[in-house]
Amino acid sequence: MSDKILPLDFEKPIMAMEEKIEELMRLSQESKIDFTEEIDKLRIQAEEVKGKLYQRLTPAQKLQIARHPQRPNLLETVKAMSPNTWVELRGDRAGTDDRAIIGGIIELASGPVMVIGTQKGRGMKENLTHNFGMANPEGYRKALRLFQHAEKFKMPVLTVVDTPGAYPGIAGEQHGIGQAIALNIREMARLRVPIISVVTGEGASGGALGIGVANRIYMLEHALYTVISPEGCASILWRSAEYASRAAEALKITAQDLLRFGIADGIIDEPQGGAHHDPLFAAQRIMETVERGFSELKGLSADQLLDDRYAKFRKIGAFQEAKAAALSS
């Protein structure tokens, strides 16, 4: 990954201040004039602006961070978590290997773990290879094979979610995308091993749910989890994707919202500005959270794991019975 971080639109004022600091430092070296006092003042101002900005991010701004082109993807994260033990397992055993979903085994302190997740690429060529993280039915069938493999060998499962949704093309419909996702949801609910899911970027629609049924769901600080993308929601409600920011606010899709609703079980801290500013820091925090989660689940029997998973999803949502008097009025 390049050391140069691409600024987002709302970060450009910060970038301008940092460029001014670099300019003064360069000028100081060239002219032998001491600008230390001015540079220190600008650095303090820049840190104050950063602190206020990142503490008050809107859902639309968090969406930009979650979609940042330099945000760590699945392979970068697992290799940072366990650099020497990653073994990828390919194919759905029916002739295809959907590269939008990657799976394999890593060795953590607690033992071997099956990791399955959506993969985005770096640049256009890699994104085309991985279909921008949008899996076809074959990808979910590969994931199901690996879930069953993990259960057979009694390995805990870690799923990593970062997808704008399953591939919405005609080929996906023809090959049974709905059935593939539904089958994964059913079979994940039945797996007799611990499952932890971490949403690292976007967790959108059935594309996320197809690998997201877990005992514990954690989210990176700037990750999002939603039934539909803000652009899709805006196109339906306001007939224009231009209202995506408004939709992002209304949908309540941030990690903080999901924790408050009891859908997420915890938020994983990111470095200031997002995981792309320090991928190793983010990977370390993910690994610590996952290890802690598996430690908590380790003492549960297979039946207790199933009950725990069932109870987690049954309690999601708020339901209120309408009174007969209200209906008759």
Average pLDDT over residues 16-44: 84
For residue 313, pLDDT over 90 is answered with: yes
Q: Are residues 124 and 155 in the same domain?
A: yes
- Looking at residue 186, which CATH number applies to its domain? 3.90.226.10
For residue 329, pLDDT over 90 is answered with: no
pLDDT of the residue at 45: 84
pTM of this structure: 0.90
**Residue 288 falls within a domain, yes or no?**
yes
For residue 326, pLDDT over 70 is answered with: no
Give the 3-state DSSP-derived string for 197-214, with helices as H, strands as E and coil as C: EEEEEEEEHHHHHCCCCC
Interval 132-156: pLDDT, tens: 999 999 999 999 999 999 999 999 9
Boundary of a domain, candidates 56, 76, 91: 56
Q: Are residues 244 and 100 in the same domain?
A: yes
Q: Is 318 helix (H, G, I), strand (E, B) or coil?
A: coil
Domain that holds residue 178: 64-314
Q: Are residues 102 and 118 in the same domain?
A: yes
- Whether residue 218 contacts residue 289, with contact meaning beta carbons closer than 8 Å, is answered with yes
Q: Are residues 188 and 234 in the same domain?
A: yes
Boundary of a domain, candidates 18, 37, 56: 56
Q: Are residues 39 and 79 in the same domain?
A: no
Rounded to a whole number of angstroms, the CA Rg of the chain reads: 22
**Residue 324 falls within a domain, yes or no?**
no
pLDDT of the residue at 26: 86
Q: Are residues 145 and 42 in the same domain?
A: no
**Residue 148 falls within a domain, yes or no?**
yes
Which residues, 6 or more positions from 317, have their beta carbon under 8 angstroms from its beta carbon? none
Interval 36-81: pLDDT, tens: 888 888 888 888 888 889 999 999 999 999 999 999 999 999 999 9
Q: Are residues 16 and 134 in the same domain?
A: no
For residue 322, pLDDT over 80 is answered with: no
Q: Are residues 13 and 103 in the same domain?
A: no
**Residue 322 falls within a domain, yes or no?**
no
φ and ψ of 11, to 5 deg: -95, -5
User: What is the tally of structural domains in the chain?
Assistant: 2
Beta strands in the chain (DSSP E): 87-88, 101-108, 111-118, 157-163, 195-204, 216-220, 224-226, 266-268
Q: Are residues 174 and 34 in the same domain?
A: no
Q: What tokens were used for 204?
A: 């959108």
Q: Are residues 198 and 307 in the same domain?
A: yes
Average pLDDT over residues 111-116: 97
**Region of poorest pLDDT, from 47-61, 153-167, 272-286:** 47-61
As a whole number, the mean pLDDT across the chain is 92
Q: Which amino acid belongs to residue 326?
A: A
Q: Are residues 309 and 180 in the same domain?
A: yes
Average pLDDT over residues 295-305: 96
Average pLDDT over residues 4-31: 86
pLDDT of the residue at 49: 85
Which residues, 6 or more positions from 74, have their beta carbon under 8 angstroms from its beta carbon? 102, 115, 117, 118, 119, 120, 160, 162, 200
What is the Cα–Cα distance from 121 to 131, expressed in whole angstroms?
8
pLDDT of the residue at 50: 86
pLDDT of the residue at 3: 67
Boundary of a domain, candidates 23, 38, 56: 56
* pLDDT bracket for residue 21 (50, 70, 90): confident
